[in-house]
Amino acid sequence: MSTGSASRASDMSPSGPSLLTAKAADGTVAQAIDEGQGRAILIVHPGMTTEAGYARVARLLAPRFRVLRLRRRQYRLDLKAAPNTGSPCTVAQEVEHVLAVVDAVGAPVVLYGHSSGGPVALEALLASPASFAGAVIYDPAAVIGAPGAEHLSTDVVPDGGVGPGVTSARSALLSGNPGQALAIFTRIAAGWPAWLCSLAGGMVALMPTYRRLIPCQIDDLEALERLGNRLTAYDRVNLPIRLLGGERSPAFLKEILDALQGALPAAERVSVRRQGHDGHVRDPQQLAGLIAAFADSVMPPVAAM
């Protein structure tokens, strides 16, 4: 669990979002954007982005909930020893930041995790179930196969190690070619043809905002592969969980949801209609509605006096 104190300092207007900080057990400082009041929802964002990617969803939820958008440790450049070539933290270290923020809130929260944020959320539920009222997990990028099986679309993960895709992507970073590293990741995560992955990787690497996140994304993938298959552990997570799957998401993400639904004792499945893996961008209204409905079911609103 976390230790130390927490603070909430205004970043913008007195009524707008503020920055919450809390010291984690290892002495690093967890950060989350904090807005709204009342029952708390903590958002663990997906890869190749920051907490800013969930700003619209948060704004839609904030009139009824206190919404905290975690600045994920894996994507914090200020905590990276080698930000240009990558220096991964473990999923357990990411969990420490989740728990530090929850401890600062002081009451059980609804946890939300998307893509690579999904396994981080699941590990947090396992580490401290009393800290949470339940969780919503959207298209989680969890490892579900035995050692030697594919992770996501193409990477073959050995026991306790990383697949050749992660190794090749890391080599590309060390060679000063982040576009190639992202192309390798995109092939693993999306299964696109090699030519399209190369085109996408090269274009994204030209944008400074995203270029700096490419090493973080490779770190993220490495951390998930080192975590490995945790399905047998998740049968101890006896909390209400709503598994969201985009109707248009890739087939391998649906297979991950199938496996998690079979492993989690109290999980139910809901489709994100007409959306794929990026429903938070394309239809934030629908996604906010799904999160709010779940929060209302596990944390009923307090009746007015």
Which pLDDT value is given to residue 59? Answer: 98
Q: How many CB atoms lie within 10 A of CB 162?
A: 21
User: What is the Cα–Cα distance from 185 to 174, expressed in whole angstroms?
Assistant: 15
Which pLDDT value is given to residue 210? Answer: 95
| CA 128 and chain centroid, separation | 17
pLDDT tens-digit map of 49-64: 999 999 999 999 999 9
On whether the CB atoms of residues 101 and 22 are closer than 8 A, the answer is yes
Which pLDDT value is given to residue 15? Answer: 54
How big is the chain, counted in residues?
Answer: 305
Task: Give the CATH superfamily of 1-142+230-305.
Answer: Alpha/Beta hydrolase fold, catalytic domain (3.40.50.1820)
Residue carrying structure tokens 């920051």: 50
Residue carrying structure tokens 């904090």: 34
**Alpha carbons within 13 A on the beta-carbon side of 242:** 22
Cut 0.75: pTM above it: yes
Q: Which residues of the chain have pLDDT under 50?
A: 1, 4, 10-14, 305
Domain ranges of the chain: 1-142+230-305, 147-228
Which pLDDT value is given to residue 263? Answer: 98
Which pLDDT value is given to residue 302? Answer: 73
